[in-house]
Amino acid sequence: MTGLGVGLIGTGYMGKCHALAWNAVAPVFGDVAHPRLVHLADVSPELAAHQAKALGFSRATGDWRDAITDPEVDVVSITTPNAFHPQMAIAALEAGKHVWCEKPMAPDFHDAMRMAAGARAARKVAILGYNYIQNPLIRHIGKLIGEGTVGMVHSIRAEMDEDFMADPDALFYWKSEASSGYGALDDFGVHPLSILTMLIGPVAEVMADLARPFRTRPTAGGGPREVETWDIANILIRFASGVSGAIQLSRAAWGRKGRIVLQIFGSEGTITYDQERMNELQLFTRLGKGSEEGFRTILAAPVHPPYDKFIPAPGHGLGFNELKIIEAREFMRQIAGDPAHIIDFEKGLEIERAVHAMAESHRTGNWVSVGG
């Protein structure tokens, strides 16, 4: 059996991450044919050729359409800036390829809808690169909820924080321009939403408060320039299931590097998780003896599949990049028509709908319904 032919557009960090995943998925899982790294595209032929060699692709191009139309290419990884996603994803789908596109779908919701329509029309697999949901422990949280380990879930909290915008003296750059989106809301918000959507289901209503920690930022030229996005977002959220809670997002949280904290409260227990310690989860359930109860620190282990495909011993730890290998396997599963743990363009659209509703609630000061 010949492996899938892979085309890759974009070779920044996420492009490399996709390449590493395509490269490792067969030896890690041992149950699929090696994908063939066929065609790599980047902004110039020179850069593409250099990266193709480093990442192990056979062909290189400065025109992404070459990679999409290559007859040996079966699937296309799209890892370019968000604004390019709609054009590339739709073209790839129209060319009859399966698409693995980095998230979020598009800055503009209308474009995201066009992408979803494109996937429906092409009848090809089209998924988004929400890799956090692939963590064996995040998947185990889903299992715990499904099995009723924490009873009926009634409320949640989520936080996502980094500090790359925390310094007021950092120069103004595109992430502070309105054209880049809302700020933390879409830059970060889609991540906890991807997890919560998986675990809790669709969002019903939202109420957000966006904030600018710094009104202006210095420019290289000298004078300050007004910041147009919001580095901080605080959101009240209600899910269709009746679960409610809050989400808090900040790109200006000094000391936080890759923090995504979840707290899930149920009638029989509590689950918490912190992405900065992605190989641990905390679980509280009653054990019948109050004097010996407490939150358990559970270490990722072979009993949390597919951790076992990587390491046969517990507590040794997976890395962030390895989540992408799991995602590649799930993508292949979906292509093969097997049940897969992925967020496709349809589900992705729901995430973006929620984000835009949040922005609207901030503008109007009112709760906004996230109609389907």
Identify which of residues 173 and 254 has a Cβ nearer to a second copy in the complex: 254
Identify which of residues 277 and 341 has a Cβ nearer to a second copy in the complex: 277
In the block, tokens 């030896």 appear at: 27
Using only C-alpha atoms, the chain has a radius of gyration, in whole angstroms, of 21
Decide if 248 contacts 234 (C-beta within 8 A).
Answer: yes
Identify which of residues 53 and 120 has a Cβ nearer to a second copy in the complex: 53
| 316 interacts with a second copy by CB under 8 A | yes
**Going by C-beta distance under 8 Å and a sequence separation of 6 or more, which residues neighbour residue 103?**
128, 129, 130, 190, 194, 343, 348, 351
Interface pattern 237-256 for a second copy (x via CB under 8 A): -x-----xxx-x-x-xxxxx
Identify which of residues 120 and 151 has a Cβ nearer to a second copy in the complex: 151
d(CA 110, CA 321): 31
Beta-carbon count within 10 A of 296 CB: 11
In the DSSP assignment, the letter for residue 306 is T
d(CA 96, CA 124): 7
Identify which of residues 219 and 297 has a Cβ nearer to a second copy in the complex: 297
Identify which of residues 173 and 320 has a Cβ nearer to a second copy in the complex: 320
Identify which of residues 202 and 314 has a Cβ nearer to a second copy in the complex: 314
| 283 interacts with a second copy by CB under 8 A | yes
Q: Which stretch binds a second copy (CB under 8 A): 41-49, 73-81, 156-164, 190-198?
A: 156-164
Select the residue interacting with a second copy from 81, 148, 224, 312 (CB under 8 A).
312
Q: How far is the CB of 55 from a second copy (least distance, A)?
A: 5
Decide if 351 contacts 104 (C-beta within 8 A).
Answer: yes
Identify which of residues 49 and 311 has a Cβ nearer to a second copy in the complex: 311
Q: Which stretch binds a second copy (CB under 8 A): 91-99, 122-130, 221-229, 273-281?
A: 273-281
Tell me the number of residues near a second copy by CB under 8 A: 96
Q: How far is the CB of 285 from a second copy (least distance, A)?
A: 7
Select the residue interacting with a second copy from 2, 54, 81, 177 (CB under 8 A).
54
Touching a second copy, residues 180-209 (CB under 8 A): 207, 209
Touching a second copy, residues 9-38 (CB under 8 A): 13, 16, 19-20, 23-24, 26-28, 30, 34
d(CA 48, CA 7): 12
- DSSP states along 97-112: -EEEE-SS--SSHHHH
Q: Say whether 55 sits in a helix, a strand or coil.
A: helix
Interface pattern 333-372 for a second copy (x via CB under 8 A): --------------------------------xxx-----
Q: Which stretch binds a second copy (CB under 8 A): 58-66, 185-193, 267-275, 351-359?
A: 267-275
Beta-carbon count within 10 A of 172 CB: 19
**Going by C-beta distance under 8 Å and a sequence separation of 6 or more, which residues neighbour residue 68?**
7, 9, 76, 88, 91, 92, 95, 97
Decide if 185 contacts 358 (C-beta within 8 A).
Answer: yes
